[in-house]
């Protein structure tokens, strides 16, 4: 009888170690894997596993992303830890923190790491990748004045232009929208030109950002 009890205790210890012996990281975990029957001692607690679901995996900055933790097995309650920037620091954590929302403002590849811990001290890691692309600049042209008698001298203003994930490095103006860029500056978005003849003109502003992306927009000038 004593040998039988010792044998049963040894078996329970081995089963317990099998249930708690899982650790990460486990990169590329996309789908749950059903634990083998031997990792399901007693039927109430089995090997902990998890994976991450993302609302989107690629897009342009600023890019909002919702992420959800999915758990298979283990013993609740579960404690969740999130590193959403891939910088090695936990950004969010707590019991039941299964959903996190973040807005990625800058372009880059972000490696998300999720760590789940259950009541029995089991740990499991899951990862996911978010690819945030540059947003590109926005050209916002203006003019003062926009109408008047010819010859009409006007200031063309591009200072309201912006880049959400960086900054504008070049301003260019095409005064007649003829494909020839008449003015350029890395720092001054304001150009001055004179329209000698009556007519409608559509000077175009082109801005370039620090990623080399460009954007164009025009403003209407009427010389009477």
Output the average pLDDT for the chain.
Answer: 82
Q: Are residues 191 and 94 in the same domain?
A: no
Q: Per-residue pLDDT averaged across 147-167, rounded?
A: 94
Q: Which of 158, 153, 156 is nearest to 171 (CA)?
A: 158
Q: Are residues 37 and 123 in the same domain?
A: yes
Residue where a domain stops, chosen among 117, 133, 149: 133
Q: Are residues 48 and 85 in the same domain?
A: yes
pLDDT of residue 110: 95
Residue where a domain stops, chosen among 110, 133, 156: 133
Q: Which of 62, 63, 45 is nearest to 54 (CA)?
A: 63
Q: Are residues 115 and 145 in the same domain?
A: no
Q: Residue 184 domain-assigned?
A: yes
Q: Residue 120 domain-assigned?
A: yes
Residue 144 has pLDDT above 90, yes or no: yes
Residue where a domain stops, chosen among 91, 115, 133: 133
Q: Residue 56 domain-assigned?
A: yes
Is there a contact between 175 and 153 (Cβ–Cβ < 8 Å)? no
What kind and span of H or E run contains 183?
A: strand 183-185
Query: Using CA atoms, how far apart are residues 183 and 189, in angstroms rounded to an integer?
Result: 10
pLDDT of residue 103: 93
Q: Are residues 129 and 151 in the same domain?
A: no
Domain that holds residue 63: 24-133
Q: Residue 148 domain-assigned?
A: yes
Can you give the CATH number for the domain in which 42 is found?
A: 2.60.40.3880
Q: Are residues 31 and 123 in the same domain?
A: yes
Largest CA distance in the chain: 112
Q: Are residues 154 and 122 in the same domain?
A: no
Q: Are residues 127 and 81 in the same domain?
A: yes
> What confidence category does residue 152 fall into, taking pLDDT thresholds of 50, 70 and 90?
very high
Is there a contact between 213 and 206 (Cβ–Cβ < 8 Å)? no
Letter string b/e over residues 90-105, b meaning 16 or more CB atoms within 10 A of that residue's CB: eebeeeeebebebebe
Q: What is the pLDDT of residues 51-87, one digit of tens each?
A: 999 999 999 888 999 999 999 888 899 999 999 998 8
Q: Residue 89 domain-assigned?
A: yes
Q: Residue 127 domain-assigned?
A: yes
Q: Residue 5 domain-assigned?
A: no
Residue 106 has pLDDT above 90, yes or no: no
Q: Residue 81 domain-assigned?
A: yes
> What confidence category does residue 46 fall into, taking pLDDT thresholds of 50, 70 and 90?
low
pLDDT of residue 175: 96
Letter string b/e over residues 185-223, b meaning 16 or more CB atoms within 10 A of that residue's CB: eeeebebebebeeeeebebbbbbbbebebebeeebebeb
């Amino acid at each position: 009888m004593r040998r039988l009890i010792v044998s049963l205790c040894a078996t329970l210890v081995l089963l317990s170690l099998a249930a708690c012996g899982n650790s990460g990281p486990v990169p590329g975990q996309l789908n749950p894997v059903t634990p083998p029957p031997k990792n399901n001692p007693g039927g109430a607690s089995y090997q902990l596993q998890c994976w991450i679901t993302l609302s989107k995996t690629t897009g342009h900055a600023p890019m909002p992303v919702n992420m959800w933790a999915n758990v298979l097995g283990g013993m609740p309650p579960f404690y969740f830890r999130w590193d959403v920037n891939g910088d090695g620091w936990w950004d969010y954590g707590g019991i039941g923190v299964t959903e996190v929302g973040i807005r990625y403002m800058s372009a880059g590849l972000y490696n998300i790491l999720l760590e789940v811990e259950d009541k029995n001290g089991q740990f499991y890691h899951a990862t996911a990748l978010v690819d945030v692309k540059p947003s590109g600049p926005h050209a916002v042209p203006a003019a003062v004045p926009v109408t008047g008698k010819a010859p009409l001298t006007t200031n063309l203003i591009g200072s309201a232009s912006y880049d959400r994930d960086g900054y504008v490095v070049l301003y260019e103006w095409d005064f007649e929208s003829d494909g020839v860029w008449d003015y350029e500056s890395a720092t001054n978005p304001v150009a001055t030109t004179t329209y000698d003849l009556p007519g409608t003109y559509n000077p175009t502003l082109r801005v370039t950002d620090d990623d080399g992306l460009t954007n164009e927009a025009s403003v209407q000038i009427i010389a009477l």
